[in-house]
């Protein structure tokens, strides 16, 4: 919980002169840079939602210019001089809040100044163009030989090769520790301090444990009935239903919105402005439900960050202490709401009557157990964002291995579909029918988000470990969820995770909250404890 000292430090008045005025100037430059970044985020949100197709060429020019301006702002010599002066001021660094802010500002400045504005601008332009090519390639028919199939990786190949080339250049500029590898520089952008070797050491034993669990469940004679999920429901009613769930979770629609896109995402672009997106299809209404809950978990984190508050007496927006710790922690929030809440029996005890009223159809004759068992079916599937909890991390591990090969050069981009399909067969036992349901299913590589995927599994691990602590500290949490009272859970997350911004590193926060370093054991206890009773 937040201590009285922490609360005071977040809002104490700016009473010091001299060094504090230097710090004030430094924070103002970060606020200005944050505002430029929020413009880029707004342009990207528009491109992924409502932008006309023919606007794509000019949008890439806009993103190129904004990226250049943002990079020049965060690498300006004046910002560097102010930062150095603040670091040399003992009175400032004696304040633990300011010291943490300066520590993270230094990290950001050091990384940013390793890149040229030309490279940053070119990456922004190329990835903006690649996003549009990806959309078209993903939906393009495979031709007469692939009747009913879609996705054309060959169309996307030149764009992806260019994105990978620029991303390698970026990684080379960042550099990596002796004994490491180029991919480490990219992972560190999303999960500070993590390396490919560390992730491999976590993923390998986890993969074996997950594979064993999935194999055991698959051999069970009792299988959940998934027919309840095959009800065809109009997307407009699904949208209304999802909004009711998100409001109950505590997402503030006066400070955000929910729209549709090709690949769902959340953008916490500015104070009071957090945008969520989802996607609908007539069948399997829970895909949209859980996609929306997942993005709303991200959204609650963004709305819970102190962007509109004062930290050390100064406006927080744009500063590290008003931004998220890491994508692993960010994903812990989305996966917690999606899975630990949304796939619980208690959630459906509250939510089923709402679903029956809003969605109708055969749901009106279904029971809580029908829904609870159906949404917890463990069955290998092709699409990561639609995967169940037991198999989801296998999708992530596959992408981690492919990215590692792409960045090292061991895997040529042109060979990506074949390697993808082979690993899906090996890990999930499935044949990939087309590129849309294979290598083109994720938007991340068109954005240049290389090194992002491992954070999804790290998020699952953090979520499970946090969840055990939350249940210890909120003993009646299950009863609250049965009533649809999610405020105590949201408050716990706001108080213990969101409000700190980047004051703590991810591993430090985990140790502080749970008393233990990150471990796979809580996740396996969660999966075993929930899934085995359903299958026996």
For 60, the token pair is: 């890439």
Span 203-216, average pLDDT: 94
| Pair 250, 490: CB distance under 8 Å | yes
**Statement: residue 263 has pLDDT above 90:** no
Instruction: Of 98, 89, 101, give the one whose Cα is nearest residue 9.
Output: 98
CA distance 132 to 127: 9
pLDDT of residue 281: 87
SS3 category, 476: coil
Catalytic one among 295, 302, 346, 401? Answer: 295
pLDDT of residue 145: 45
Mark residue 400 as left, alpha or beta (left: phi above 0; alpha: psi -120 to 50; beta: remaining): alpha
Alpha-carbon Rg for the chain in angstroms: 23
List the strands of the sheet with 273-278, edge to edge. 256-260, 273-278, 266-270
| Pair 196, 450: CB distance under 8 Å | no
For 184, the token pair is: 């480490």
Instruction: Of 522, 535, 504, 517, give the one whose Cα is nearest residue 100.
Output: 504
Span 82-91, average pLDDT: 98
Percent share of the chain, pLDDT over 70: 95
Span 177-181, average pLDDT: 94
pLDDT tens track for 447-495: 999 999 999 999 999 999 999 999 999 999 999 999 999 999 999 999 9
SS3 category, 395: helix
pLDDT of residue 283: 82
For 279, the token pair is: 């996607």
Residue 169 CA from chain centroid, whole number: 24
Span 196-212, average pLDDT: 95
Span 43-71, average pLDDT: 96
Span 369-398, average pLDDT: 95
- Phi, then psi, of 284 in degrees rounded to 5: 50, 65
Span 135-150, average pLDDT: 71
DSSP 8-state assignment for residue 141? B
To which residue do tokens 């945008």 refer? 275
The DSSP annotation for 450-473 comes to TT-THHHHHHHHHHHHHHHHHHHH
Expressed in angstroms, the distance from the first to the final Cα of the chain is 39
**Statement: residue 11 has pLDDT above 60:** no
For 145, the token pair is: 């030989």
pLDDT tens track for 119-132: 999 999 999 999 99
pLDDT of residue 262: 87
Contacts of 94 (CB under 8 A, 6+ apart): none
Q: Which pLDDT band holds residue 9 (cuts at 50, 70, 90)?
A: very low
Q: Does residue 401 have an active-site annotation?
A: no
To which residue do tokens 């060979």 refer? 415
pTM for the predicted model, two decimal places: 0.93
More confident residue, 99 or 140: 99
CA distance 293 to 31: 30
**Statement: residue 110 has pLDDT above 70:** yes
| Pair 181, 171: CB distance under 8 Å | no
pLDDT tens track for 166-175: 999 999 999 9
């Amino acid at each position: 919980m937040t201590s009285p000292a922490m609360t005071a430090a977040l809002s104490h008045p700016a009473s010091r002169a001299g060094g504090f005025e230097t710090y004030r100037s430094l924070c103002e430059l970060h606020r200005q840079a944050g505002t430029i970044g929020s413009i880029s985020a707004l342009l990207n949100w528009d491109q992924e939602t409502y932008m006309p197709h023919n606007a794509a060429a000019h949008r890439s020019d806009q993103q190129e210019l904004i990226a250049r301006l943002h990079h020049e702002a965060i690498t300006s010599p004046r910002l560097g001089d102010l930062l150095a002066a603040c670091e040399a001021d003992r009175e400032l660094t004696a304040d633990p809040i300011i010291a943490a802010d300066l520590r993270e500002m230094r990290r950001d400045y050091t990384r940013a100044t390793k890149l040229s504005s030309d490279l940053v601008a070119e990456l922004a332009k190329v990835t903006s163009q690649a996003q549009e090519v990806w959309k078209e390639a993903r939906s393009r028919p495979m031709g007469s030989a692939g009747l009913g199939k879609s996705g054309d990786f060959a169309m996307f190949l030149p764009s992806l090769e260019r994105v990978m080339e620029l991303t390698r250049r970026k990684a080379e500029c960042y550099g990596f520790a002796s004994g490491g590898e180029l991919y480490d520089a990219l992972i560190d952008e999303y999960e500070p301090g993590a390396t490919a070797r560390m992730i491999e050491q976590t993923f390998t034993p986890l993969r074996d444990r997950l594979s064993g669990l999935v194999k055991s469940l698959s051999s069970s004679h009792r299988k959940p009935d998934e027919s309840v999920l095959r009800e065809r429901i109009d997307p407009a009613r699904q949208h209304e239903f999802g909004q009711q769930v998100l409001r109950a979770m505590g997402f503030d629609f006066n400070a955000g919105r929910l729209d549709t896109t090709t690949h769902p995402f959340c953008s916490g672009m500015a104070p009071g402005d957090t945008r969520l997106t989802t996607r609908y299809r007539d069948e399997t209404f829970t895909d949209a439900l859980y996609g929306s809950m997942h993005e709303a978990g991200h959204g609650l984190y963004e709305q819970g960050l102190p962007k509109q508050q004062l930290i050390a007496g100064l406006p927080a927006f744009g500063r590290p202490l008003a931004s998220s710790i890491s994508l692993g922690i960010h994903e812990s929030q989305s996966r917690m709401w999606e899975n630990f809440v949304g796939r619980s029996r208690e959630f459906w005890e509250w939510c089923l009557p709402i679903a029956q009223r809003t969605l109708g159809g055969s749901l009106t004759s279904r029971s809580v157990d029908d829904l609870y068992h159906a949404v917890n079916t463990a069955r290998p599937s092709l699409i990561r964002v639609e995967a169940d909890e037991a198999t989801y991390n296998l999708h992530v591990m596959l992408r981690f291995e492919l990215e590692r090969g792409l960045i090292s050069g061991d895997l040529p981009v042109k060979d990506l579909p074949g390697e993808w399909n082979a690993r899906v067969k090996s890990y999930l036992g499935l044949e990939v029918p087309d590129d849309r349901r294979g290598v083109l299913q994720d938007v991340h590589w068109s954005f240049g988000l290389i090194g992002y995927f491992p954070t999804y599994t790290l998020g699952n691990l953090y979520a499970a470990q946090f969840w055990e602590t939350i249940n210890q500290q909120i003993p009646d949490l299950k009863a609250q969820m049965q009533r649809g009272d999610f405020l105590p859970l949201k408050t716990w997350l706001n108080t213990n995770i969101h409000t700190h911004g980047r004051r703590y590193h991810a591993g430090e926060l985990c140790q502080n909250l749970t008393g233990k370093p990150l471990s796979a054991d809580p996740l396996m206890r969660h999966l075993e404890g929930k899934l085995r009773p359903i299958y026996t």
